[in-house]
Amino acid sequence: MYECSGQQILYKERALRYIRIQASDAKDFVITGNITALHSTPAPIIASATNLIVPMKNLVRMEQLSPFDSNTRGDFISGEVIEDGLVRHKFCDDGDIVYKFNQPYIIGNLKLKLGKKQELRNKWSNVVSHIAILDCFASLATYASKCTDLAFPMCRPEFDFDADEPFLEMRRGYHPLLISGEAKLAKKASTFVPNDAVFGIDGTPQTICLTGPNMGGKSTLMRQVAVLVVLAQMGAFVPADSLRLTPSDRIFSRIGAHDCSFLGQSTFYIELNETQSILRNATKDSFVVIDELGRGTSTNDGTAIAGAVLRELADNKHCRTFFSTHYFALCDLVKENKNVRLAHMNFIVENENNEDPTEEDVIFLYKLVDGVCKKSYGFFAAKLAGLPTQLVKEASEAGQLLQKQQERMRATQAARIAKQKQVKALQGIKEACKTGTVTVEELGRMVAAL
């Protein structure tokens, strides 16, 4: 016997004339009236039925839905399965016929049918796999044709599998996102500045330490090169005049900043955790992108850690590395390192005024050039962001005061170091004179050096 409750709440969506059973303990309901549609039910059978028991959460389009209580209608007479789990039942008292879905029958029948088709599973899997590959090739071909339509240069990457050392040479490369169908990006495509990027070619270092003003295009260029490497190694044409490289075994990136409160991990901790993964797993054939490492902590600590990581990648890992920073002291630490190339995103400053930075206008040229940018022009970025002019001026004054304090501290520290060297030199001269182990010529050189 199938028991139903007659005390359930029904909800009607008037616009679509659908009924959805909302009660959590509802089992079955009887539909009376003209049934126009029922999901997953054979239409010819439903059309001939005047009563139907609907399992909970089924969605039915109909004229009327009436709660049904089996206690008031009597027992069911066991019915027969008509088609695919639809069971016909008849009441004892008035002979009404009720149709009901038999879920166990449906599940069992489905398993039986799937079992009969098991031998086709491998064939269908192969078909799906080949279609997926074909879809990938078609997507890459569509991408390349869009580049041609927008007059972007497209090239087939050239891989060198016999080179003794890893290298990468990109000439006039564009960002792949410019080929998307979005109108805004399409308008910007004509003004995008292509760039060259060279690692390990003709004696150039494998590591680039990149500086530049805020919003100058550092992160965009780094991502661009990394994405072009991915496209090249998956067999796609790339938007560039030319791209020559050795294969990369891995691409590592440390970009962005976020924390994880649930795990108790701060922004700086996540930065260092990702960095240690790079240092542990990178090989000379890897391609590494690190964007502004150390910004999650104090300037001194951040500079020291970023410098140590940069030297490790350049001097020991010898992998192709794009490393951006706003720590100008870091550039001073590695300026004599032959394994590091110092570069920046070019720009022009109009009306440069240290007293009032709100009068400055920075024109971003978005071109990678050699050298170090000694200023980030953060106040210009604040101006573009719409911060109040007075606030920007006050921030500039505070920045100048901090800079003067730092210069005095550096001068004091330099004087202290020089004095320590003098004392040490004098002690050496005194000891040499006392022991008589130094010639007059050597003593003269020591005094001159002092």
Q: Per-residue pLDDT tens for 186-208? A: 555 567 889 999 999 888 999 99
pLDDT of 33 > 60? The answer is no
Largest pairwise CA distance in the chain: 133
Structure confidence by residue, pLDDT tens digits, 70-92: 444 433 333 444 444 455 544 44
Cβ partners under 8 Å of residue 7, min gap 6:
67
Predicted pLDDT at 114: 66
Per-chain mean pLDDT for the chain: 73
> Phi/psi at 204 (nearest 5 deg)?
-70, 145
Integer Cα distance of 310 and 443 in angstroms: 41
pLDDT of 8 > 50? The answer is no
Asked whether the CA dihedral 26, 30, 36, 39 is positive or negative, the reply is positive
Question: Which of the four pLDDT bands, split at 50, 70 and 90, describes residue 55?
Answer: very low
Say if residues 242 and 155 touch (Cβ distance below 8 Å): yes
Lowest mean per-residue pLDDT among 118-132, 290-304, 319-333: 118-132
User: Edge-to-edge strands of the sheet including 65-66?
Assistant: 65-66, 28-32, 51-55, 97-101, 86-91, 76-83
Integer Cα distance of 318 and 313 in angstroms: 6
Cβ partners under 8 Å of residue 241, min gap 6:
153, 155, 171, 172, 173, 194
Q: Which residues pair with 55 in a beta bridge?
A: 28
Integer Cα distance of 356 and 9 in angstroms: 70
Percent of the chain with pLDDT over 70: 68
Question: Which of the four pLDDT bands, split at 50, 70 and 90, describes residue 395?
Answer: confident
Predicted pLDDT at 345: 93
pLDDT of 244 > 60? The answer is yes
Structure confidence by residue, pLDDT tens digits, 330-356: 888 898 899 999 999 998 888 776 667
